[in-house]
Amino acid sequence: MSTPVSLERRLARLLMLSVASLLLVAVLATGIGIARITRDFVVARLSQDRDNLIASLQGGRSGQNPLPIIYYQVYSGYYYQIKRPGSPPLRSRSLWDARLTLPELQSGQSWLGFQPGPNDQYLLILATGVQQNGSTVRVAVAEDVSALRDTLILIYGVTLTAGVVLAVGLWLLQRRLLRTLLRPVLEADADVARLERGELAQLPQTGVPLEILPLVNQINHLLEIMGRRLKRSRRAIGDLAHALKTPLAALAQLEGEPAVRCDPQTVERLQRHVQRIGTLIDTQLHHARLAGGGAPGVRTPLREQIDDIIATLERIYRDKSVQCTVAATQGMHFPGDREDLIELLGVILDNAFKWSQGAIAINAKPGPPLRLWVADDGPGVAAEDVTRLARRGQRLDESAPGNGLGLAIASDIVEQYGGRLDFSAHGCLGGLTVCITIPREADSLLS
């Protein structure tokens, strides 16, 4: 089974990926653009100084410096170097005893690069090969761009930080927007839960966005169809079972006919088949009364029904002195039809009254899930017979009245609600303990 994917997370992931991509492009474009503009500005200035040096060489004024005085200040950050073949380089006073490392250049070739300079400076060097007297002279000018490099690093850092802050802000904003947009979906989910708890008969349609309204209408339409089908099927099964009652009664009267009474074997076979058909009809009538959780929006007060059933059974078993202890709050509800609850508790409590020797304990826990225990102080059952209790037609004691359908019907009701019926051979009072489990959320069981 595939894991459900959150629509909010998917949208947030896509939006964050888009925002992060745009911010990355913006940061890179900003940083690269500033770096390129700044470098071009420095290169333009260096080109001017280089051209002045070349002009002085071609004019025969190599011993004079046509450049600003800053080239005379030691380690000023502005340097030049002229290298003739076979001669020591002519350097600016600002270089002092340092030298620039230049590549081999042909006449007309230029080179632009970075290089460490004196006093841990970071130099941008522009070098050009110039033809003079049949040989190539390399003319180079350099400028310390350490401050520029630090400024660019700062710009990158500030831009990146601003981008991260902006990304987080956009993420929070889009998260808020997404939750606002998805709020109707969450409200619809809450309405479905209220529908299951019995607080609503249908999903509300007021205030529902147009995109979700068709889904709400389809769910309400489906609820109507399910309700009609449930009523129709229960009515049809009940009508069929009642219709069979009349011919079955007529068939049972054949036992008194003289032609039949004279044949004991025929009477026995007739009685057996009539009893079997009667049992099947009773079973179908019970099934016709089951809602089985098929009607949403229905819940029944639990404690009131328990008290009513106990009062009825006390009148039926008035020859027995049975003390019933009930631990269930007034606010608890059974998440289903009243008929199902009466059928379920009636079968289990009747069985408890039948075998009890004087004490019955009923305890309910709201959940989740809803649990209801019914214990008696009767003889209990053998451990190996526990699994047979809920089997249809199984009777552990043939001397007691009954058709063996009671606990089986109770098990059917619980199963149709997705629950479980468990038995303990010798429970807290020494006799049989029946545990009913209905897997519904706690808030669906409490008013």
Give me the amino acid identity at 396: L
User: What per-residue confidence (pLDDT) applies to 374?
Assistant: 93
The rounded percent of the chain whose pLDDT value lies above 90 is 7
CA gap 380, 431 in Å, rounded: 4
Distances (CA, A) of 27 to 14, 32, 160, 240: 20, 8, 6, 79
**Contact (CB, 8 A) for 310 and 349:** yes
CATH of 300-444, one of 3.40.140.80, 1.10.3720.10, 1.10.260.40, 3.30.565.10: 3.30.565.10
Question: Order of strands across the sheet with 420-424?
Answer: 323-327, 359-365, 370-376, 433-438, 420-424
| Length of the chain counted residue by residue | 447
Contact, 378 vs 398, CB < 8 A?
no
pLDDT of amino acid 443: 36
- Computed on alpha carbons and rounded to an integer, the radius of gyration of the chain in Å comes to 48
Q: What pLDDT sits at residue 119?
A: 87
pLDDT one-digit tens code per residue, 165-214: 887 888 788 778 877 877 777 777 787 777 776 677 778 877 777 777 88
Distance, in Å, from the CA atom of 373 to the CA atom of 441, rounded to the nearest integer, reads 18
- Residue 1: predicted pLDDT: 46
Closest by Cα among 2, 446, 7, 447 to 184: 7
Rounded CA gap, 373 and 410, in Å? 14
pLDDT of 397:
47
Q: What amino acid occupies position 156?
A: Y
pLDDT the model gives residue 166: 81
Spatial CA neighbour of 217 closest among 205, 225, 207:
205
Helices (H), 258-362: 258-261, 264-288, 302-316, 338-355
Per-residue pLDDT of the chain (447 residues; tens, 9 = 90+): 456 667 677 777 787 788 778 877 877 787 788 778 878 888 888 888 888 888 877 665 544 556 778 888 888 889 989 888 888 888 888 888 888 888 888 888 899 888 898 888 989 999 998 888 878 889 999 999 888 888 888 887 887 788 788 878 887 887 788 778 777 777 777 877 777 766 777 788 777 777 778 888 888 888 787 777 777 776 667 667 666 666 667 666 666 667 666 777 777 777 777 777 776 666 666 555 554 444 555 678 888 999 999 988 888 888 888 899 999 887 788 887 787 888 888 889 998 998 899 899 999 988 678 899 999 998 888 777 777 675 544 444 444 444 445 677 788 788 878 888 888 888 788 888 999 998 864 333 333
- DSSP annotation string for 94-126: GGTT---------TT-EEEEEEE-GGG-EEEEE
Task: Quote the pLDDT of residue 60.
Answer: 53
CA distances from 134 to 53, 107, 127 (A): 18, 10, 19
